[in-house]
Amino acid sequence: MAFVGRTGSGKSTIVNLVPRLIEAPADTVFIDGISVQKHPLSQLRSSIGYVPQETFLFSDTLKGNIAFRR
């Protein structure tokens, strides 16, 4: 899934609401009909791949930057 739209249209806000990086009012954001508040936080965050707009590279090789998480 991708969120696209004009600047200021709320793409980043939606993307931050789903993994609960920003808490939404109760029963306003749902995944498969279930409120995000009812999903365990660890389950939400481990199930979502997120690429932020800001980029950051360490002073390392490309391989080292890609393998950083490991």
- Total length of the chain: 70
- 57, pLDDT greater than 80: no
Q: Is the pTM of this model over 0.75?
A: no
What was the pLDDT predicted at 67?
A: 81
pLDDT tens-place string over residues 14-55 = 888 999 999 999 999 999 999 999 999 999 888 888 777 676
Burial (CB count within 10 angstroms: exposed 0-12, middle 13-18, buried 19+), residue 37: middle
What was the pLDDT predicted at 70?
A: 58
Higher pLDDT pick, 68 / 62: 62
